[in-house]
Amino acid sequence: MSSSGRELSRRAFVGGVCAAGCLAVAGCAGSSESEPKRSGPLQVPVGDVPVGGGVVLRADQVVVTQPEPGVFHAFSAVCTHDGCLVSSIDKGLIVCRCHGSAFSVDDGSVVRSPAQKPLPTRVVEQTGDTLTITT
């Protein structure tokens, strides 16, 4: 076999590896953060939202809080710093673990940087034991 034959085989191999890598990366791109949000209002049982805390609904990119009994707020779960989804609610703060930003469960305002802007609010209405959030 000539050296040019081996060159072609190497090129084919490298091309195949690159193609496989591209497919793997494309497959990873379908994370819950990039999935389209549901259309229309979101309904959440009141019992799913703990007093003094809240719940992060990652698939819907919404965070719902209940800072005090019977008082509910809803915000975008997309951190205003770098677009990560907030990860949890801890000690009265909505926390983004990507870069450490934290927001108030009362109004979504920035409590800890690097975020500079509050979380955008969502309309939340309570009807009996159900919260309806308009995203």
pLDDT tens by residue, 107-127: 999 999 999 999 999 999 999
Q: Name the helix (H) or strand (E) containing 45.
A: strand 42-45
Residues of the chain with confidence (pLDDT) below 70: 1-39
C-beta atoms surrounding 81 within 10 Å: 17
Closest alpha carbon to 120 in 71, 70, 86, 69: 86
**pLDDT recorded at residue 11:** 57
Q: Name the helix (H) or strand (E) containing 72.
A: strand 71-76
Decide: pTM greater than 0.75. no
- The CA–CA distances, whole Å, from 123 to 13, 30, 32, 58, 76 equal 54, 28, 22, 17, 10
